[in-house]
Copies of this chain bind each other. A is one copy, B any other.
Amino acid sequence: MRGKGNKRVTSVEVAAAAGVSQATVARTFSSPHKVADTSRAKVHEAASALGYVPNAIARSLKSQRTNIVGAVVPARGEYWQHLIAEISQQLAEQGSQMLLFTFAKPSEVASVVQSLRQYRVDGVLLASSFIDHDSIVDVAGLGIPAVAFNHPEALDVTASVSVDNVAGAAALADHLIETDHQTVAFVGGDPDTGSDRLRYRGASNRLREHGIVCPYIPAGGFDYDSGYAIAESLLRHFGGGDGLPDALMIAGDELAFGVMDGLSKLGVSVPNDVSVTGFDGLPQASWAGFDLTTLVQPAEELIREALGQLTSTPSTIESHTTVPGFVRVGQSTRRQACAEEGKA
C-alpha cells in the first residue's frame, strides 16, 4: 500500500499520521528495540500508508556516516570488471552501498578523489596498481580509511590487501618444474607495477633454485591486444617456434589470452609447442578455448579482507595483508614429462 508518485514524505508527516512524535518515528527505523511494540506498529502502518522511506542523506548528515564505500577501479581490464560484482555483493550484505569510480587514465584519479571527499564516503577501496603514488598519498591524507587493493606498492601510506604474488608465481613455477619444463620465459605486463615485479620475482627466484634462468619480456600492458601483439615478437626473439622455451609464464590472464590467440594464429600450438600459464584466475580462463593453467586469486576472500580493514580500522592503521592464491591446472600446460630435443 505504497503512495504513488507522492513526492517526499518525511518523518514528521508519519508522526502526525501515527499520533506519535517525530523522534519515535525516527527511532522506529534506526533503533526499533527502543520503541514500544504498540507505537512501532502504529508507525509502520502510517509509514507504509504514506509511502515513507527514511532519508539516508539526512541520516548521514547527522550521523557522519554514509554507509557508502567508494571504489576506484580502472575502466578497462577483465580482472577489475570481475571484481566489481563481488565488491558490490559483499557491500550489500553489510548494508552498504558502493559509489563506483572508474578511470581510463591515471590522471583522472585526482578528480575522482575530489568527489570522494565531497561525498564523505566511509572508506575507499583503491583497486589498481595504476594509481600513482601521489594519489594514494592524497587519499591517505584525507582522514578516511583507505585500502589499496592488490597494490603492494602502497605499503607505507595506507593499508593494503593483496594476493601473495610472490608465492603464487612460485607455485606456478613449481608446477612447471614438476611437469618437467626446462626453459621458461616470463611475459610481463607493465614493469612499473608492483604485481608485475613481484610475480616475476616469485617465478624467477623459484626457477633459479632449479637452475633455470627466466628472462623477463615486457608486453607493454596487461590487456589482450598487448598479448596478441607480443606473440609475434616472441617468435622473432626466440628465432621461430622451435626456439621457444618450454613454457611462457604470463603476468595476467587477459594478457595470456592474447598471447595464446597470437601464438595460435602464428601456428604455434599450446601446449604442444609451448606451455602457457596465466595469473588471476578469471572465469574466462576456464573457458574451453583457453583452459589456462593459472593462479586463482580468491576474490571473495581478498575483498572480504579489504572491506574488513575499511570498516574495522579506527584510523589509518597500516595493516598489510597478503592472501594466498592457488594454482588451477588447465590444458595450457602439458601434464606429463616429454622429451625435448636439442635443448639444454
A97 within 8 A of B: yes
In the bound assembly, the distance between CA atoms of A228 and B284 in angstroms comes to: 13
**Contacting residues, chain B, for A82 (C-beta < 8 A):** 81
Interface residues on A, range: 35 or more
**Which positions 282-298 of chain A face chain B at CB distance < 8 Å?**
283-284, 287-290
In the bound assembly, the distance between CA atoms of A195 and B117 in angstroms comes to: 40
**Contacting residues, chain B, for A193 (C-beta < 8 A):** none
Partner of A228, one of B2, B61, B89, B288: B288
A57 within 8 A of B: yes
How many copies of this kind of chain does the complex include? 2
Of A17-25, A174-182, A204-212, A261-269, the one with at least 4 CB within 8 A of chain B? A261-269
Partner of A98, one of B8, B100, B108: B100
Shortest A181–chain B CB gap in Å is 24
A335 within 8 A of B: no
Shortest A237–chain B CB gap in Å is 20
Q: A2-B141, A57-B119 are contacts. A262–B288 as well, Cβ < 8 Å?
A: yes
Which B-chain residue is minimally distant from A77 (CB atoms)?
A: B85
In the bound assembly, the distance between CA atoms of A4 and B141 in angstroms comes to: 5
Interface digits, A73-87 against B, CB 8 Å rule (1 contact, 0 not)? 001100001101100
Q: Which 8 A-B pairs have the closest CB atoms?
A: A261-B288, A56-B118, A81-B81, A5-B143, A75-B85, A88-B102, A53-B117, A100-B100
18 A–B contacts, CB within 8 A, in A order: A5-B141, A6-B143, A53-B117, A56-B119, A57-B66, A75-B89, A81-B81, A84-B100, A84-B102, A88-B100, A97-B99, A97-B115, A97-B119, A98-B100, A98-B101, A99-B99, A100-B100, A261-B287
